[in-house]
Structure 1
């Protein structure tokens, strides 16, 4: 019966993923109701803390976007890329990785991807090389960001088990691990595929007058727009917020009141809301712009998706764990890497790193797995590149007017598969080694 109920869980996740976005959350709500009233599973608590973290971070980042700060960051990134065009396959992924690390979300990739494609095309570089790598790198930055929901959730759970584990402990493992993954996948990408002029799809499009005109006339830039000084000030304030969070994490006595330490998840919520207010007041940003931006919309959609997914999944696993804990624990202890494979597989289905962490980390901790292992293999919560239906991957294909970045004939042989596998495997390997030395 538990197996059938698990298959039902996967079915609900699959149906939700077909709708995407908010659909993941509300379809999971159907699954939750059936679990409780048909399968008679006691409902667990909804993932309130994760949702509040997402809302706080997204609100601050959305105010930054409305104040012109995101456009300012894009202009800085574009200058770096255009000043070093021959290194676009290496620099493009580093730019998208850094932006995600700073913002806590990979959705900024939509703004920078056309620029990466434009630089590659104008320098005769196969656009697939930097564009596919940059899309993967933008998502890998989530597990290295101090303000991402996935990292903060990990911190809350791990510090509860071992008080010596701090935000700096986790970032000290995951930042170098994911950066190694990004560098290796970028080096691989520098030589992947045939050269642009030899690509059959590119040649076919150049024979089509409409495509030829579109390819030759493509220009995407943010440098022709003059931004107010408030845009730069917004970025400085946002960077100050990140620095403040790191400093508070470094000095626990700052957040200790009456002998009790305030959790870092609460600190992050407080700092994001406070600096969102400072950016709003300091730049005189019209409040009506905030909910209109890409960051706010995509972030709030993610919060609703996690709301339903995590609640439905947690209800099942809390109910089923006593029955199959022994068998799974024995397998995982014999082959520790299998927990990483399990996290990766779940991520393929639910398209969210935070939701994957919220769903699988309590299961892994319930098996008694050591914190070193769980932190080291955290990059495995990114597996949704495997099926090419994630918005940033689809958008990347559409941004590449040459057609070199594509979904293959056999669906799984797409442009993101090999860079994604390389990035995640390298990050997990390096992370596991570093965690063993540092924790």
Structure 2
């Protein structure tokens, strides 16, 4: 038990130090923890989540190519037109815009262009920018559990199918999207009258008494409406959306999935002895594609969805390069591709580290937590949330913690119901989207706070996670 605790401290320390450095360090420093567990404590290495990583690479490449074509500018422009048309409703419309942008692209890092526009509209309308900005930043991350190409959703489906919970991407979205929208609207409602109006805020009024500050706050104007979007950029968006539709159709209509034949070992089949005395296991014979009655057999399997997603995304990226004037060189310099590759490294290191620890202590975990989890299945939501606070990645939380949850005997529908709880990294405001939002708010009303935790994202974040998890849990119990 003492050794188990020491090794857990190694895992937690690696995650903590990595989170302090951020970016690539989160995955890289997890490698130090992994090395200590394997070489220092002699633990058997776990398995890195290769399927999820491949999907992220394919999806991020496709989204990055679309950004390089100018397609992202068109989506931002469409969102801005709607926001400027209804500025008095910006506290509700801004989070919806950032949410659906993330749902489309699979990463929350696409909203940096839209966030200063949200601030500008609020200031010009006399609305306290903290109101729409705080919840819009939360919404930009919430969309990750609602995107058909996001790592968290794909990993949930892949791991669930491997553990006997047969579910597809559309079935996950049927629960996560309405639940997260309910959570966001609850957070937006709570934010609608948050804080003092600008004309009644003594700190803000004092700030604009300085002519330089007044010019900084009111003088500038941030917009994308004056930017001309070429037809090739619009075509890239259509290609990207077409790829998403194809993926969803494949996931809904499983009968149309391509099939192929393979040789598999018959369950509990004995070893086979050749005439020369050589012995081979059923698994080895299946790998060698040797068909032997009673030991191996030919079976037909459908192409897996993780492979389909990769093929469709890479193909769409190629089409945009060939026909939509998208520059690959520009794509790798873009925010979408770079943030996606950082996510790959983070998930690679974190998930491998976590799997190494938990796979070596599965029996002990079942003994310690089995009774609690059996009685209160939903309590796993607190574990997901706390891990997310530490590692700043919803995909990494799913990849590293979902196998453990299934090993503890938690039913798949319960885990689907608590899926929104994997977003907890707003709790400590060190995530790039939150920091950027604070910097974009020229009024100074969106803040980190003197005591770190009293920041502008805490209230909408907690309301969203609570409401969305409750709604998702109810929907999952009703549907499944």
Give the TM interval when normalised to the shorter protein: over 0.9
Matched residue of 1:110: which SS?
Answer: coil
Q: Deviations over 1:373-430 (max 9, x none)?
A: 0001001110000000000000000000111100111110100001001111111101
How far 1:39 moved relative to its partner? Answer: 1.4
Match of 1:409 in 2: 450
Matched residue of 1:42: which SS?
Answer: coil
Match of 2:431 in 1: 390
Match of 2:367 in 1: 326
How far 1:225 moved relative to its partner? Answer: 0.8
Deviates more, 1:256-265 or 1:58-67: 256-265
1:56 equivalenced with 2:58 (yes/no): yes
Q: Which has the higher helix share?
A: 1
Matched residue of 1:260: which SS?
Answer: strand
Matched residue of 2:208: which SS?
Answer: helix
How far 1:119 moved relative to its partner? Answer: 0.6
Mapping of 1:35-434 within 5 angstroms? Answer: 35-162=37-164, 164-258=166-260, 259-434=300-475
Could you say if the C-alpha distance between residues 352 and 33 of structure 1 is closer, same or farther in structure 2, counting changes exceeding 3 Å?
Answer: same
How far 1:161 moved relative to its partner? Answer: 3.1
Query: Aligned partners of 2:190 and 2:332: how far apart in 1?
Result: 39
Report if aligned partners of 1:201, 1:403 keep a CA contact under 8 Å in 2. no
Q: Deviations over 1:265-300 (max 9, x none)?
A: 111111110111111111122322111111111111
How far 1:186 moved relative to its partner? Answer: 1.0
Query: Aligned partners of 1:310 and 1:84: how far apart in 2?
Result: 43
Query: Aligned partners of 1:197 and 1:316: how far apart in 2?
Result: 55
Report if aligned partners of 2:199, 2:205 keep a CA contact under 8 Å in 1. yes
How far 1:207 moved relative to its partner? Answer: 2.7
Matched residue of 2:111: which SS?
Answer: helix
Query: Aligned partners of 2:335 and 2:470: how far apart in 1?
Result: 34
Aligned residues: 439
Match of 1:33 in 2: 35
**Which is higher, the Rg of structure 1 or of structure 2?**
2
Report if aligned partners of 1:104, 1:145 keep a CA contact under 8 Å in 2. yes
Query: Aligned partners of 2:462 and 2:22: how far apart in 1?
Result: 23
How far 1:208 moved relative to its partner? Answer: 3.1
Gaps of 5+ in 1: none
Report if aligned partners of 1:28, 1:309 keep a CA contact under 8 Å in 2. yes
Q: Deviations over 1:84-133 (max 9, x none)?
A: 11000000000000000000000011111001101111000000000010
Matched residue of 1:409: which SS?
Answer: coil
Query: Aligned partners of 2:179 and 2:257: how far apart in 1?
Result: 28
Query: Aligned partners of 1:92 and 1:81: how far apart in 2?
Result: 7
TM-score by length of 1: 0.98
How far 1:341 moved relative to its partner? Answer: 0.3
Could you say if the C-alpha distance between residues 163 and 331 of structure 1 is closer, same or farther in structure 2, counting changes exceeding 3 Å?
Answer: closer
Report if aligned partners of 2:132, 2:188 keep a CA contact under 8 Å in 1. yes
Deviates more, 1:165-174 or 1:54-63: 165-174
Report if aligned partners of 2:374, 2:409 keep a CA contact under 8 Å in 1. no
Q: Deviations over 1:168-200 (max 9, x none)?
A: 211111111111111111111111111122224
Deviates more, 1:113-122 or 1:312-321: 312-321
Report if aligned partners of 2:66, 2:326 keep a CA contact under 8 Å in 1. no
Gaps of 5+ in 2: 261-299
Query: Aligned partners of 2:446 and 2:321: how far apart in 1?
Result: 39
How far 1:163 moved relative to its partner? Answer: 5.9
Query: Aligned partners of 1:331 and 1:376: how far apart in 2?
Result: 18
Report if aligned partners of 2:65, 2:327 keep a CA contact under 8 Å in 1. no
